[in-house]
């Protein structure tokens, strides 16, 4: 799957670079489209069972640049966005944690590079495309736990669907980003196995302009 995404991303980028495009600014505000849920943990270390839950998230904020090309009935749009969001976890009963549940947060900072291609219908646009995410930094309160291990990869891929409206230099977009990695893929506690498949998918509303 990763190799397929790399090929698709390279194909889209080649089309972008070979096209006449307009450049502008873009900002997004959105949410993590995932409801709170219990994370099933299979302890593989010498300690008792404990509870781990995904309990919420912060708003997602993105700011950066966009490039846009109008090819008649077809458009190509790519963006370079600094994106930040937070995931919240509740952990109870892990090893020395005997004073009740602890709320712990992970703050993510990524460089997001989506490439969309799609159809223009009047001033409306509908597109699909890959998203490359470069994980710049993570600030995790879970790291205070001795057995915490950070498994966040330097580069991840997602796929997005977008609907938008363009009028002159202005762009209004709504996009849904489906991440391939699950929320719990980025960390572990010791050698415990986390059976959790839900991802931090994002629903975003964006405003931008090109010139």
Q: What residue ranges do the domains of the chain occupy?
A: 2-17+24-210
Answer whether residue 156 shows pLDDT above 90: yes
Average pLDDT, the chain: 89
Q: Is the pLDDT of residue 15 over 70?
A: no
pLDDT of residue 47: 64
| Whether pLDDT at 40 is above 70 | yes
Query: pTM of this prediction?
Result: 0.86
Burial of 18 (0-12, 13-18, 19+ CB in 10 A): exposed
Confidence check: pLDDT of 176 > 60: yes
> Quick one: which of 198, 174, 170, 173 has its CA closest to 184?
198
Spatial contact of 92 and 51, defined as CB atoms under 8 Å apart = yes
CA atoms within 13 A on the CB side of 48: 9
Fold exhibited by the domain 2-17+24-210? Porin (2.40.160)
Percent of the chain with pLDDT over 90: 69
């Amino acid at each position: 799957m990763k190799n397929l995404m790399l090929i698709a991303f390279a194909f889209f980028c080649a089309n972008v670079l070979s096209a006449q495009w307009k450049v502008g600014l873009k900002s997004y505000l959105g949410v993590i489209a995932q409801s709170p849920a219990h994370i099933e943990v299979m302890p593989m270390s010498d300690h008792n069972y404990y509870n781990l839950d995904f309990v919420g998230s912060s708003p997602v904020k993105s700011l950066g640049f966009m490039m846009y090309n109008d090819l008649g009935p077809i458009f190509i749009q790519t963006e370079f966005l600094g994106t930040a969001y937070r995931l919240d976890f509740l952990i109870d009963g892990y090893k020395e944690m005997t004073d009740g549940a602890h709320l712990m947060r992970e703050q993510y900072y990524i460089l997001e590079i989506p490439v969309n291609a799609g159809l223009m219908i009047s001033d409306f646009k509908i597109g699909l495309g890959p998203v490359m995410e470069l994980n710049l930094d993570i600030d995790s309160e879970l790291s205070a736990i001795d057995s915490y291990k950070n498994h966040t990869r330097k580069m991840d891929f997602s796929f997005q669907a977008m609907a938008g409206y363009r009028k002159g230099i202005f762009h209004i977009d709504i996009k849904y980003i489906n991440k391939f990695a699950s929320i719990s893929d980025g960390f572990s506690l010791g050698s415990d196995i986390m059976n959790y498949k839900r991802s931090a998918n994002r629903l975003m509303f964006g405003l931008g302009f090109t010139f």
